[in-house]
């Protein structure tokens, strides 16, 4: 096998094609550390040697078979429904970009209260999130920070301000209700 898996990998994204599989590997910080193309045979050899990790892929006819094979190897294979992935592919669509988006959604879905719809909405709207310096900036952009009222030097925090991106905020604020 020409391409060896990076031992620092914590998650993979796979874009499944008819003959070629595009794989993106990410480390714990979410940075891309490896990109590769494989045939079906070399893909299985690659994942057999890879560290056990979360693997995300778009649902398609071959994804069920692949997910079962990867799970049998000890990986945590997740299939993302195509309807949650396709609407959010913006410009510069390539298989490796597709694979990375699958991985970002797979990682977000592991957070309690964020479902597939909320995760794909975040990835679609915020991309990789590098435009935000800290998590609070993202929360403010979504409109999830409390509104403030101050008078006479006394500040009072109110409910969610509901300013910001309503389309992304709605599935995030409604999905946690299903966790309880």
The answer on 142 and 108 residing in a single domain is: no
Q: Note the pLDDT tens digit of each residue in 38-93.
A: 988 899 999 999 999 999 888 888 889 999 999 999 999 988 887 666 554 554 55
Q: What range does the domain containing 72 cover?
A: 11-112
Q: Is 38 helix (H, G, I), strand (E, B) or coil?
A: strand
| Range list of H helices, 90-134 | 95-109, 116-126
Residue 120 falls inside a structural domain: no
How confident is the model at residue 93, as a pLDDT?
A: 57
Round to whole Å and give the CA distance between 159 and 147. 6
Q: Note the pLDDT tens digit of each residue in 18-45.
A: 888 999 998 888 788 999 999 888 999 9
Residue 164 falls inside a structural domain: yes
The answer on 73 and 36 residing in a single domain is: yes
Residue 151 falls inside a structural domain: yes
35-72 in b/e burial notation, b at 16+ Cβ within 10 A?
Answer: ebebebeebbebbeebeebbbbbbbeeebeebbebbee
Round to whole Å and give the CA distance between 100 and 57. 9
Hey, what are 77's tokens? 């294979």
Residue 93 falls inside a structural domain: yes
Residue 60 falls inside a structural domain: yes
The answer on 96 and 19 residing in a single domain is: yes
Domain count, the chain: 2
How confident is the model at residue 46, as a pLDDT?
A: 94
The answer on 36 and 77 residing in a single domain is: yes
The answer on 103 and 16 residing in a single domain is: yes
The answer on 66 and 34 residing in a single domain is: yes
Residue 71 falls inside a structural domain: yes
The answer on 143 and 78 residing in a single domain is: no
Q: Which of 149, 150, 147, 174 is nearest to 162 (CA)?
A: 147
CB atoms within 10 A of CB 175: 18
Strand pairing class (154-160; 11-16): unpaired
Sheet holding 76-80, edge to edge: 32-38, 21-26, 11-16, 54-58, 76-80
The answer on 142 and 84 residing in a single domain is: no
Residue 128 falls inside a structural domain: no
How confident is the model at residue 135, as a pLDDT?
A: 82
The answer on 147 and 100 residing in a single domain is: no
Round to whole Å and give the CA distance between 23 and 42. 12
Q: Note the pLDDT tens digit of each residue in 99-138.
A: 677 777 888 888 887 877 788 888 877 777 788 888 888 8
What is the domain-level CATH number for residue 59? 3.30.420.140
Name the band, by pLDDT with cuts 50, 70 and 90, for residue 162: low
How confident is the model at residue 85, as a pLDDT?
A: 64
Contact 77, 57 (CB under 8 A): yes
The answer on 107 and 144 residing in a single domain is: no
How confident is the model at residue 95, as a pLDDT?
A: 59
The answer on 149 and 62 residing in a single domain is: no
Residue 121 falls inside a structural domain: no
DSSP state of 32: E
Determine phi and psi for 124, rounding to 5 degrees: -65, -40
pLDDT-wise least confident of 13-22, 62-71, 140-149: 140-149
Hey, what are 177's tokens? 């209700």
């Amino acid at each position: 096998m020409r391409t060896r898996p990076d031992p620092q990998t914590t998650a993979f994204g796979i874009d499944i094609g008819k003959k070629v599989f595009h794989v993106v590997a990410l480390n714990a910080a979410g940075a891309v550390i490896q990109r590769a193309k494989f045939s079906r045979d070399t893909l299985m050899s690659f994942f057999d040697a890879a560290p056990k990790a979360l693997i995300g892929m778009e649902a398609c006819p071959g994804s069920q078979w692949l997910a079962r094979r990867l799970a049998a190897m000890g990986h945590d294979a997740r299939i993302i429904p195509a309807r949650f992935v396709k609407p959010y592919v913006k410009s510069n669509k390539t298989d490796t970009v597709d694979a990375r988006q699958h991985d970002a959604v797979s990682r977000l879905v592991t957070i309690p209260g964020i479902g597939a719809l909320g995760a794909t909405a975040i990835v679609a709207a915020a991309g990789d999130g590098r435009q935000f310096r800290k998590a609070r900036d993202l929360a403010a952009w979504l409109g999830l920070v409390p509104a403030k009222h101050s008078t006479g030097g006394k500040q009072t925090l109110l409910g969610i301000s509901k300013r910001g991106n309503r389309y992304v905020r709605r599935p995030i604020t409604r999905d946690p209700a299903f966790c309880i």
